[in-house]
Structure 1
Amino acid sequence: MEQYSSGEIGFRVASEDGGQPVVFRAALFDLIDCSLPACWKVLAVRQNAVDLGPEVFGQAGFWEKCFDRDPVALDEYREAKEQVMADS
């Protein structure tokens, strides 16, 4: 989950084309449960913005490495995704 300085919120969602996460506007979803997975942390706090998620997602360059299909980053992504699912 990402909140931007504009106040808009985005959710990273695993896509159907190989599981690469894609950011969608939160307004496109109906929230049915307000609880957060236990493995989520505050990853970044900027002026009027905050990111939440598994700790590995907050590492510098993590998403760039995922999109470049770095095998280590993709393994970390899959492990974090499994933990989120287990905590949900």
Structure 2
Amino acid sequence: MDIIDNVDWQIAKENWLRIAYSISLSGRGTVLCGTMVPENIASSDYIDRFDRILYMNLHCDDVTRETRLRARGWDENSIEDHKNFA
């Protein structure tokens, strides 16, 4: 999901769910890889178009997480917030 950058998060979320819905019309499933929690999906205009949504958490240790986020240019406060979130 990181390929859509520099846009409002709510707009990006809606766009990704709209894309997933469009793909589903052909009978195929979609896996969205990014940080979306159930609360993000529940507020979507597209929630009622899916009969089920599954969530998966890929977990890593804090050192690995910090290294990855720092490589993306995240600041220290954001890194600490994300470590607490995880």
What is the TM-score when the length of structure 2 is the normalising length?
0.21
Q: Which has the higher helix share?
A: 2
What is the TM-score when the length of structure 1 is the normalising length?
0.21
Q: Which has the larger radius of gyration?
A: 2
Q: Which has the higher strand share?
A: 1
